[in-house]
Structure 1
Amino acid sequence: MAEINVAKPIVETQVTEKYPMNVCKGYIFPPFLTEEWLEQASSVFKPRDTDLFLISFPKSGTHWLSHIVYLLVSKEKLSGPLHGKSATMFEIPHVDELQLDTMTGTFSPDSSVAKLRLTKALVSAIPDPRIFFTHFPYEFLPKNPATKHVYIYRNPKDIAVSIYNHFSNSKFFTHIGTFDEFFQLYIENNCFNYCEHIKGYFEHKDDPNFFILSYEDLNKNFKMKLGEMATFLGIELTEELYQLITKETNIEAMRENEFINGKELMKEGHSLFPKGKVGTWKSSLSKEQSEKIDEILLSKLGEDFIKKYITYF
């Protein structure tokens, strides 16, 4: 697992030494996740029949999806801190943040951010129905055949840009180099096993407890996809509820909402919702970089899968 360097200069000798990322089992994870937790997640965390998991590869729209689902389930506007905290992640906890009984310490020297560490006891006390989100690949996902899952995925070119921007604007990292340097690491690690992540979940796309949608399709066909998701969750999507969700989940509203924008995690002037646009890769990736991603997808997913499911717009 790559060494995590937080809030200190990063040695600029090799590309892999510039980036304080947690690459474990070939996948990219938040900096606080340990290999110990990844290995034990399936046995330590036991999903309930009434649980709902929101799942994605990093920077694929999980926070956006989380707020949509929160409003869909609660049917009312978020008007204050959740569980005494300032982020939606405490109403919809991040499974990747759960703390094993054997773990000690926090994932950040910043005391205000350190409070984000969750414990099993805290999560166990959440009343049903519980909602969680995670970046776990399917092989490490805690499983219960009765638990429902919503998997959102995004094209890997926009993901590359979004990951880099997130690292650049996060409080955790002081310097991560240029985008070209980051992209080299992205390619060397097969887009951080993006193809394996998406394939693992698409193998279950026809399972009755799985609902899969793309970030691009949710952007383009919001009402239709929201209706399909509501049906999957057994929720009636009234016109009033649709209008509420539409108003509260547009990018401007989420960036201004102090209870979900994650500003305590980001540098001054930034939030967890920087742009929310589709196709930003077109102004960030060179033709050669775009083609390198195409090569990886073609070799690992195949032409038919790409044509059917991967959308760039």
Structure 2
Amino acid sequence: MAEIQKDTVNICKGYFLPPFVTEEWLEQASSAFNPRETDLFVISYPKSGTHWLSHIVYLLVSKEILSKHYLGEIATVLDIPLGDEVQLDVRKVGQLSKLRSTEALVSSMPDPRLFFTHFPYEFLPKNPIAKYIYIYRNPKDAIISMHSYLQNNLHYEGIGSFDEFFQFYIENNCFNYCEHIKSYIEHKDDPNFFILSYEDLHKNFKMKVTEISNFFDIELTEELYELIVKETNFETMRENIFINNKSTMKEGTTFYLKGKVGRWKSSLSQGQSEKIDEILLSKLGEEFIKQYIIYY
């Protein structure tokens, strides 16, 4: 079996990070950022609906179609360092790219600012008044989506087949889904936190969008809801150049897949599915799994 190139996946604290993100950067981004009371945060374990939910939140707040680049000007990924002039070396791409998420840019963003991040709770910049939405997804679909994303991304090489990736992922303790979701579920009753599942958002879209709008004290008119339905359809998002950033993806691939629920049923072997079940049971317990992990 081909060996996955560890220098291209950058495992830090059990997380897959881009090659240019170090543990120092991770801690700097967490400690240097001071959230405002009006800030809105969308948080998830990777490949759990972050961009989908962020776009829903953006539309709720702005009430208009996205007309500029999503990253930097409207939303900021927090797991990168903040500074007035920062450059990074995009490994294997062979060029320098300026980080759009600079301290000056973040400071100049009008209220309410929208941010999204994959930070575990311990790294999350906190403000008792700012509002946080955490979306989680069943881990079997998340790991399949993660493999597809890494395999198609220019930042990563040597990811290999799904079987190779799965073995590498488990053996290197990268499956820290349990710690991530547990750290946020513990705050489900905090007044400034809203927790939902990717599967429920799919199945009960209008109900969940209504709940989110109520959480933000935003009136959800029928006209606004129809705009959200139209603009957050996965086909529409794949065609929107301001959301689907193809500059980091290999030719012929796209950031957004189909966003389907239950893909794991036809993609995981019985052994792989049982291995995930075993990890979940040992780290989360049967009651937690029954209450929160949804397998449609």
Q: Structure 2-normalised TM-score?
A: 0.93
Deviates more, 1:193-202 or 1:264-273: 264-273
Q: Distance in 1 between matches of 2:201 and 2:14?
A: 28
Q: Distance in 2 between matches of 1:180 and 1:196?
A: 24
Identity percentage over the alignment? Answer: 65
> Which of residues 50, 63, 67 is equivalent to 1:75?
63
Q: Distance in 2 between matches of 1:282 and 1:267?
A: 27
Aligned to 1:43: 31
Contact 1:37-1:100 at 8 Å conserved across structures: no
Aligned to 1:34: 22
- CA deviation after TM superposition for structure 1 residue 165, in Å: 0.3
Aligned to 1:120: 103
Aligned to 1:97: 80
> Which of residues 188, 191, 196 is equivalent to 1:205?
188
C-alpha deviations, 1:27-58, integer Å up to 9, x for none? 23343322112223332111111111110111
- CA deviation after TM superposition for structure 1 residue 293, in Å: 0.1
Q: 5+ unaligned residues in a row in structure 2: which ranges?
A: none
Q: Distance in 2 between matches of 1:304 and 1:275?
A: 31
Q: Distance in 2 between matches of 1:144 and 1:28?
A: 27
> Which of residues 134, 147, 150 is equivalent to 1:167?
150
Q: Distance in 2 between matches of 1:104 and 1:97?
A: 10
> Which of residues 139, 158, 161 is equivalent to 1:178?
161
Aligned to 1:304: 287
Q: Distance in 2 between matches of 1:90 and 1:113?
A: 20
Aligned to 1:282: 265
- Provide closer, same or farther for how the CA distance between residues 88 and 121 of structure 1 changes in structure 2, counting only shifts above 3 A: closer
Q: Distance in 1 between matches of 2:188 and 2:134?
A: 9
Q: Is 1:108 matched up with 2:90?
A: yes
- CA deviation after TM superposition for structure 1 residue 305, in Å: 0.7
Letter in 2 for 1:122: L
Q: Distance in 1 between matches of 2:156 and 2:13?
A: 22
Deviates more, 1:43-52 or 1:19-28: 19-28
- CA deviation after TM superposition for structure 1 residue 99, in Å: 3.0
Q: Which runs of 4+ in 1 moved over 6 A?
A: none
Q: Distance in 2 between matches of 1:238 and 1:255?
A: 26
Aligned to 1:272: 255
Secondary structure at the aligned position of 1:133 is classed as strand
Secondary structure at the aligned position of 1:152 is classed as strand
Contact 2:2-2:164 at 8 Å conserved across structures: no
RMSD of aligned alpha carbons: 2.0
Aligned to 2:54: 66
Q: Structure 1-normalised TM-score?
A: 0.88
